[in-house]
Amino acid sequence: MALRHFLDIADWSTDEIRGLLELGWQIKTRPADFHDALPRKTLGMIFQKRSTRTRVSFEVGMFQLGGHALFLSSQDIQIGRGESIADTARVLSRYCDGVMARVFGHDVLEELARHATIPIINGLSDRLHPCQTMADAMTLVEKWSLPGTFDVGCLRGKTICYVGDGNNMAHSLVNTGAVLGMNVTIVAPRGYWPDLGVWQKAEARAAQTGAILRCSADPIEGVRGADVVVTDVWASMGQEEEAAQRLRDFAGFTVDEAMMSRAGPDALFMHCLPAHRGEEVSAEVCDGPRSVIFDEAENRLHAQKAIMVRLMGEG
Ligand code: CP
Ligand code: NVA
């Protein structure tokens, strides 16, 4: 099987992403069928940043598929002393069957992929967080399909409204919507809109699937009628020094009950977590009846198992 990486949802066809979501659902509903899907395979997990969900879900996922995962903090491996990304990729390729990496610059993932002979999975970069939005898409399909079914087509024509920083989560949601035919509105203060390069690439894709992508600086108009409202922290990992300024710049963009009341009557609330209650979302919404935040967190496990089986399995 040809070597594939999972760095960006936009690198995958609509049918492939649908297939991955459906595989994730099969694994979730029939886990025992996949206990030997990756026998004695090893995933190296490089972390330049902290993590709870990504680390635990990949490690548990590998174990449940019959394999094993290694936690490689960049502080503890030789990358932390200046060994090149290229050499690290070549060396890990001799020991492991795949690498998941959480990095600052997205170029680090591209460099890993250029030099590795094993699949590289994006566990979050400053640009993208595709494993999270795969779990999010899986969660929405579960919520919107008839009970006991999993119909990815139900996403078509639905509208996701992301309120907050035009960051890695915003970018991956835009890509996911563009690939699956789901409309995405980004609501953010001007100056915090998504990266133009990511946006233009997603628009080209959206033209094929019929997704409507929109940016708005108006938190009142932007949310109107949305089927799901999503947010994320205003200051991401690595932006701690900007946190105070961002707190001021995002005033009026908190997802609270007033904002949710402008969305559709059955609108769901999503957050990749960790959340800062009282900043980007009120505690009332985050912990309220529309919130599906822990379903999203759980689905990281199932969606990522599908990605690993597809990339690292024998076919
Ligand atoms: N959502 C997410 O990626 O969480 P962690 O930072 O805990 O991995
Ligand atoms: N945008 C956040 C997501 C954390 C899962 C960050 O990059 O810190």
Identify the burial level of 31 via C-beta atoms within 10 angstroms of its C-beta, where 0-12 means exposed, 13-18 middle and 19 or more buried.
middle
- CB-CB contact of 109 with 120 (8 Å): yes
| Closest Cα to atom 7 of ligand 2 | 236
Between the CA of 205 and the centroid of ligand 2 the distance, in Å, is 25
Between the CA of 202 and the centroid of ligand 1 the distance, in Å, is 24
pLDDT in the model for residue 1: 73
Q: Which atom of ligand 1 is nearest to the CA of 129?
A: 3
| Residue 209, amino acid | T
- Closest by CA position to 161, among listed 263, 258, 8: 263
Cα 145 to Cα 111, 138, 212: the distances in Å are: 39, 10, 22
Which residues, at least 6 apart from 34, have a Cβ–Cβ distance to it below 8 Å?
A: 26, 27, 64, 65, 305, 309
Q: How far apart are CA 106 and CA 126, in angstroms?
A: 6
Q: How far apart are CA 282 and CA 264, in angstroms?
A: 18
Of how many residues is the chain composed?
Answer: 315
Between the CA of 48 and the centroid of ligand 2 the distance, in Å, is 13
What are the residue numbers of the active site? 102, 129, 132, 232, 272, 300
Q: Which atom of ligand 2 is nearest to the CA of 51?
A: 5
Q: How far apart are CA 302 and CA 307, in angstroms?
A: 9
Q: Which atom of ligand 2 is nearest to the CA of 232?
A: 1
Contacts by residues 74-80 (CB-CB < 8 Å, ≥ 24 positions apart): 74/46, 74/47, 74/48, 77/46, 79/46
Ligand 1 pocket by C-beta < 6 Å: which residues?
51-54, 124, 132, 272-273
Report mean pLDDT in 10-residue bins for the chain, 315 residues: 95 98 98 98 98 98 98 95 97 98 98 98 98 98 97 98 98 98 98 98 98 97 97 98 98 98 98 98 98 98 98 90
